[in-house]
Every structure is written in C-alpha cells, then in structure tokens.
Amino acid sequence: MNLVRTAMLLAFMTALFMGVGYLIGGQSGMLIALVIAAGMNFFSYWNSDRMVLSAYHAQEIDEANAPEFYAIIRRLSQNAGLPMPKVYLYDSPQPNAFATGRNPENAAVAASTGLLNRLTAEEVSAVMAHELAHVQHRDTLTMTITATLAGAISMLGNFAFFFGGRRDSNNPFGFVGVLVAMIVAPLAAMLVQMAISRTREYEADRRGAEICGNPLWLASALAKIAGAAETTPNMDAERNPATAHMFIINPLSGERMDNIFSTHPNTENRIAALQQMAAGGQMNHSTEPVAPAKPTRKARSVPAAGWGRGDNQPPKGPWS
C-alpha cells in the first residue's frame, strides 16, 4: 500500500506540474522549467552523497578502526542481499543516521557518534537496517524525481509572477490563474513531497525490521532517538535543513509535529506499527535475525576527535 500511495502521489505531482504549465498558457515555459530543474537535480543525484557527507564532516570507517560496527553493516547487507556500502561516522551528540548514494552499488550509510554512544548493539543494528532499506528501495531516486517535479513547479510559479500578468499571455484564467500558479501550486507540491517522504519512512521501517530480524529493536531505537533529538541539537543539520528528510528521525529543533508540513511520520505511530508487526509475526523468514556484536552491551563513548584516543593510538572500534 505504501508503494501504491507513493505512485499516486507522484502521479498527482506530475498532473499538478502539467496543470500549472497550462495555467501559464504555453508549453515553452513549462519545458524550460523542467529542463532546468531536471539539470539541477541530475547534478544533485550524482553528487548528493559527497555533498551530504562533506556537510556533516563524516569520516569513512572500515573493519580496522571500527570492527564491530562495520561487522554489523556487513551482516545486515548480507541479510538484505545488498552490496556492502561505504560506512561513515560523523561527530554529533544527537543520535541519528542517514543513507545516501544514487543506487545500491554506490551507496553509503552514516551514523552519528551519539547513536553509538546511546543505543545498544541491537538498536544500532535496527537503525542501520532501516537505512539499508532506503538503499534497497532506491528512495534516493524516488526523492530525486519528487524534488525535480517540485522544483519545476516552483520555477513555473516564478515564471507566472514575471510573465503571467502580461496582456499577450495565453493564461485562460487571467489573474486567478496567476495566483494559483504562484502560490497554491508550489505549496501543494511541497506538501506532496513531504507526504512521499513520510510514506517512504514507514516502508523503510517495515523492511528494516525484516532485515534486522526484530521490529522491537527498531521501535526501541526510534523512541530513544526521538527523545534525544528533542533536547540535543544537530548544528550541521540546522545549517542544512534541506537534508532533514534523509535522517531516520527529523534532526531539526522545533520540527516535532506530525502534520502535513512534516518530513517524518509521528514517532509514536511508527512505534505502534512496529509493535503490531512484532505481535502479528509479520516477518520475512527468508532473512535471519542479525546477531549483535558479542558480548551484547551498551555502546561505550566514542571520542569526538577523529574517534581516536588522546594518546594518538589507533581506535579499536565503537564498542571496544
């Protein structure tokens, strides 16, 4: 149903785009806006991973410097049938994580130091399984298409502002059509874009629970992350609010409402869905539960400065 809903929302946004083009009164402006918006998003699609990882000062890790965390990602990738992604850590006290990359073969997953400090190994596994579900579902591509259409609609609204009021324009609805193209259509496109983002989060929760093998691990992780995000700011996210939809929980302060302007579903609703999934035994038994790093225990503190130790000795991993 989530896939059907996403398809319907994309179809609505496409129809909205065509409608705004009709209101402006010509195909030339519509095509120009689409080409420019597509070009901008094509560049973003191929470079978004580097741009986002750079914005959060993420550092790539491997089996040598974070063996337990890296092993968790490897087991999850095998469970999901995905190629091993690049693995990153970024320094932030706010527990959170995101995935990026244009396709499963060029994917990257990133976790904050706060995530490793505050969550158990099982909960970390569930969070990263959620991010791998985004990779498997190619949600980066879905959101790029959505952003292309939303950007084109906003650009058409600007065209309507500059050219819609001309006497020689072909706008069949006059000034009312200009107002719709300028204000209503871009707002509607933004709302649809956010609705698609919320839908993809529910789907990633479901598949992530299957990948890690236990929906309650993810439910517990979401509760902890949401609680910490309310009191622990992520300054890099505040400077880059356009990346908020990438995270498992909205990293921005003051964005906790579950409404049409939210990029994420209400956390309580997500937890309830996972609990219902666990109670109903709705699991894909083709995947084995991911065994947490042994011995299972709370993640210990990860030093902020390059995740190394003050004596400049190499780090042994987030749980070592």
Q: Report DSSP letters for 6-69, one per residue.
A: HHHHHHHHHHHHHHHHHHHT-HHHHHHHHHHHHHHHHHHHHHHHHHHHHHTT-EEE-TTT-HHH
255 is annotated as an active-site residue: no
At 87, give phi and psi (nearest 5°): -120, 130
Token digits of residue 149: 């259409």
Q: Which residues of 25-36 are buried (b: 16+ CB within 10 A; e: fewer)?
A: beeebbeebbee
Q: Which of 131, 201, 203, 210 is catalytic?
A: 131
Rounded CA-CA distance 198/235 in Å is 23
Residue 311, judged by CB atoms within 10 A of its CB (0-12, 13-18, 19+), counts as: exposed
Cis before 95? omega within 30: no
Q: Are strands 86-90 and 107-112 parallel, antiparallel or unpaired?
A: parallel
List residues with catalytic annotation. Answer: 131
